[in-house]
Structure 1
Amino acid sequence: MILTNKHEPTILIEELHWQSCRLQDELVKIYEFIDLPEKIKAIEQQNSTILRAYYANALTHNIVDIKTVKYIVSGNIKPKGINERTVEHYLKAEQYLGSVVSEPLSIQMLYQLQKILILDLYNNREDINLFSANATRLPEKLSPTAEMELESLFEFMNHDDEFHPIIQSWILHFRLLNIRLFSECTIKIASLLQHFWLKKKGMDVFGLLSIEHELYANKNEYQNFWDDQHPDFIADQQQQFDFGMELYGMQLDRLKNLLRSYFRKQVDFEKLNARQKNIMNYVFERGYKLKEIDDSVLNKRQKLIMYIIQNRGFISTKELVSEFDCNRKTIQRDFTELTEQNLVKVIGKGAGLRYAVNLTERKHESLAKYQSSWVEDEIAIEQI
């Protein structure tokens, strides 16, 4: 069916889908909170590039050893043979899209991807001759029907302000699979443009996403949603979208585990006792919610005390002495400052004295912004 109007996807957005969108936002905040060294950030971004190139090619049965892909990405070897050069041209296509990330989606991008992924790959070779096993390729032109459908899709993508960018990216991915594009590279084009869209919208988690990994791990189910051998094949749009968002959630879980492993190295997690491990698990999950306080207001130990109190609800001086391995006067001095600033309050007396988060007394309004979001919510509830 030719689409003459703007593409309007008929999909139902469920709470599970929104949870993935929220998890993406949470991962960005955790990433910023744990503050990885620039060298580590660069390594992980390159690792994600390697994974995208490796799995995108594996999906089209172009199997190249992942170490070889790593060497191609890092520039340590010159690609030889059609399989290795296919990986190289996939990387060139990703670089091209990165250079035009500020531009809207257009049909011209598809023709440029055809040139990089197909024409340059097969035609610009030293071994090309009449008897070559891999024949040269001629430029293909999209059919009028395909162009109309693409124009409709791109108009929707470039102007829609209703759907979340992550949701838009899966609409784009599967719609491209179901439009007859060129004779090959449809999957690669769909993956490349999805990554382009997420990067354009700032949703690629600082370049760490490699959705192709999940597509390959679930390739049998993935192939049920499109059929390049039968152009008239029509898949259920809702099922496609649900499947895509499920894969996206898997990818985010994988990234969260990666960030958790780095955070645990930062805090020497394995050397901590059980209670300290619980505290550090909380700091990783919720630490970013306590907005960063200037060091001139609270020192690092006092910030960590606030994390602990917000996790447990209340705590005693004695318990913190053992946690921080310092003397009682040091912790008592910290609590005196926190109490004066109305960030904590005293509950109980004598041996039962504890310190808790101060929800109501706010003598210094300038410090209100330093409370975590859930504490602010509690205050709002009490005021009602």
Structure 2
Amino acid sequence: MSILYDEGQQAIATESRRALEARVSKDDLLPLLQTQGEYHQAFWSTAKEQGWTALALPEAHGGLALGLVELGLIAHQAGRTLSGAPFLTSSFGAAKAIELYGTDEQKAHWLPGLASGDTIGAIAFASGADPLPAKPAVTLTGDRLNGVAGAVSGGLFADVAVVFASGPALALVDLTSAGRTAVDSFDNSRCIADLSFADTPAETLATGEAARAAALHILALQAVVTAHEQTGGAEALMEIARDYAVTRKAFGQPIGAFQSIKHRIAELYGLVELARANCIHAASREGAGDFITAAAAARLSATEAYDTAARDCVQIHGGIGVTWEIGLHLHMRRARSLALEQGSSFFWEDVLVDRLAGDEG
């Protein structure tokens, strides 16, 4: 596909940005940092009203049958405005796992609710710092799950989860009978929770090496969505830094006139555009043989862009950059949260190197 969006896709970007900027504000998000067990209701209501939850799901189950490119556009705008809930990504991951690997009965039961947003999904793959462990902490014996899936993004409010269990196996579990414990984090709007299972009924989606391959594919799909969100955040920070640099004066001239500032903003522009190009490419390669390679590249470039932008924007602002009122720390916190969700840069570097070397094991 072209590296540029077509007219319809540009309209999606424009309208989603307009809707989010009207309904998400810094004043809404600041209190969430100190409140455990809450998310920004206005964002999630907007996502459901606008049909974003259905965007990349099949029409047969209430979706709009678009794709990862269009969902990425929404995620980009969500990143710009610091959307106060992780469910757009987590529900998409759970829905795609069910769509790709579930039975007709599982699809009919879960996909309509996930498409409407009335049902929230979560992905529980990680064990500790490993997003796709060789020995998962959760075990699947027959049709029962046991163990604890730690630090699941969106887990506090999820209705259904796709769990990577020992075997390996990919399991679908209704969280009604599962235990959950809120995890206090520096970005509480991510609604992170430990999910505990004690002979919890579950249904198998895949087993053996097919399960590991399926889990990596779902992780890559989510990584592309997250990379778009990171790129949106980096773009917003670059623009904030630019606007401040042309208005703030020191020694009788705008600070943007100094090379140390102008070069830093120019470097941010380069990082954002590289990340954007990688995101578009990765989204357009969904279903292709090189999709996971493209997803890894997008994830790595977007993480670098957002982390760098969060740090540099604060430094360009000087002392005011670390104050509660200006809110740059919201981006700093989100940059760190997203850098760990779907696996760290170390994980995706290994994936990328293995793929380029031809070792897909």
TM-score of the pair, normalised by structure 2: 0.28
More strand by share: 2
Q: Considering only CA atoms, is the larger Rg found in Structure 1 or Structure 2? A: 1
Higher relative contact order (CA 8 A, sep 6+): 1
